[in-house]
Amino acid sequence: MTLMMSGLDCHRTPLDQRQRLAFSQSLTEEFLHWLRAQPGVEGCVLLSTCNRTELYLSGSAETPWRLLCRGAGVPEAEMEAYFTTRCGMDAARHLMEVSCGLHSQILGEDQIITQVRRAMELAQEAKTADPMLSALFRGAVTAGKRARTEVSVSRGSPSMGGRCRDLLIRALGPLEEKKILVIGNGQMGRLAAQLLREAGASVNVTLRTYRHGETVVPAGCGTVNYEDRLAAMENTDALVSATTSPHYTLTAEQLSQVQNPPKVAVDLAVPRDIDPECGKIIQCFDTDSLGFSGFGSPEELEAMRAIAAQEMERFAQWQKRQEISRKAPKFPLFVDLTGKKVVLVGGGTIAARRIATLRLFGCEIEVIAPELKCSPEGLHWQRRRYAHGDLKGAYLAIAATDSRETNHQVGVEAGELGIPVSVADCEGECTFYFPAVCTGENLIAGVVSGGKDHHRTARAAKAIRRALEELE
């Protein structure tokens, strides 16, 4: 299976072009579903931030950037020159380095780790992240975390919010008592508001809705209704906008209605929040105006690249294990489970089928799941989510939740404890395959197909059951 990626970023693509391929969360979900249905696509993850758009594919599809343009409705000929395409381990290396912050505007920026993790989560929720891409992005998140904690980077502002604050200090002088309006209360907006408030500014944040106990506003910041944002701009010193809106939060026509507008506006969104025509009325800055701080010292760069290389090597080893598991079939081994503890994590349809089979073999079944789609009679049911340590004392472990991350964690813990494990959604993480069980008089057979073709397994099991019945 081939790994490929195509991407464009702030280093070689102007903002006007980048924003044509910027995806909000809802658009990302729609795009991933469309993309997964394209010929040759086995898995897909889209990383879309204010600085970059990168599409990672597994399978045998055409070049990713063409699919990216087609899905976004952007003519391929107009964007081809901006894209870089990488394959195999070059693609893996690039993602590891991106997550470490090596290719950001700001060396080692803080937010990229969250963005890489969120890209993986969206793909997993859309069920488009196959085992290979899931393993790759988990490794990238680990690389980013390590770079952040193990490498001391000498930089002034490790985030776009910090660069925004620094820019406003240069434009306005000390921020004490300055009045600043922040449009948007997402991650970027909250960070900018918090840093500006800590710098002494009087900050108001716009909200579309407020839910007590759910809406988080940085300490010390006031709030205004989004619809009242024009009135709130009166007599402010600066405006910051950081939303995921597909439309302008401020047009030139709207700004002209403000009698005493802000002196400075900073647009932290891609696509833009602030109409570029506003620059004819007040001083405006976009994300590319914040400047670059991504060079670093030779020691910092070497340390980050070493971390990226280590995590890439772990991913390469994971791939080799998958190849081995695909080539070598599992040996059929019949064991006595009488009185043995079997821990099953999950309570859905697949878990219920596993439980029904295990009931035949006299084992003690411990189920860990918030909900259970079968009778709990005879089970030790812990009505909660899985936590590390739950496999202690188990003879076998089974992961059958609808969460790729949880199933992976169960597989990892089982490996640490030397416990055979069946992972329902990843054959490469199984140390045994849970069989379709066929029984007859004093006869038992188990059927597996390498964890891949479940329909074929079901057909084979049905045929074997008929054969066992004929022997009785």
Q: What is the pLDDT along the chain (472 residues), one digit of tens a residue?
A: 689 999 998 888 988 898 899 888 888 999 999 999 888 899 999 999 888 999 999 987 778 999 999 999 999 999 999 999 999 999 999 999 999 988 877 666 678 898 999 999 999 999 999 999 999 999 999 999 998 888 876 554 557 788 889 889 999 999 998 999 999 988 888 888 999 999 999 999 999 865 555 567 888 999 999 999 999 999 999 999 998 888 899 999 999 999 999 999 999 888 889 999 999 999 999 888 776 555 567 788 889 899 999 999 999 998 887 777 666 677 888 999 999 999 999 999 999 999 999 999 999 999 999 999 999 999 999 999 999 999 999 999 999 999 888 998 999 999 999 999 999 888 778 889 898 888 887 888 888 876 556 777 888 888 988 888 877 6
Planar angle of CA 111, 3, 426, nearest 5 degrees: 85
CB atoms within 10 A of CB 9: 19
Reported as type and span, the H/E element at residue 468 is helix 454-471
* Residues 178 and 201: beta-carbon distance below 8 Å: yes
For the chain, the 3-state helix, strand and coil shares in percent, each to the nearest 5, are: 45, 20, 35
pLDDT for 234 equals: 94
DSSP 35-81: HHTSTTEEEEEEEE-SSEEEEEEEES-S-HHHHHHHHHT--HHHHGG
**Alpha-carbon span 304 to 112, nearest angstrom:** 14
pLDDT for 160 equals: 77
pLDDT for 155 equals: 52
Between β-strands 179-183 and 283-285, what pairing exists: parallel, antiparallel or unpaired? unpaired
* Residues 16 and 270: beta-carbon distance below 8 Å: no
Helices (H), 80-110: 88-100
Maximum CA extent, the chain = 93
108 to 1, 20, 296: CA distances (angstroms): 32, 26, 9
Looking at this protein, which amino acid is placed at residue 206?
T
258 to 55, 236, 281, 434: CA distances (angstroms): 41, 11, 11, 67
Strand order across the 421-423 sheet: 380-382, 364-368, 341-345, 396-399, 421-423
Helices (H), 225-277: 229-233, 252-256
Phi/psi-derived region of residue 220, left when phi > 0, alpha when psi is between -120 and 50, beta in every other case: left
pLDDT for 320 equals: 84
pLDDT for 96 equals: 95
- Backbone φ and ψ of 173, nearest 5°: 85, -165
Instruction: Check 44, 50, 164, 284 and give the catalytic one.
Output: 50
Active site residue 50: yes
pLDDT for 211 equals: 56
Q: Tell me if the pTM is above 0.85.
A: no
| Residue 228: DSSP 8-state | G
CB atoms within 10 A of CB 43: 23
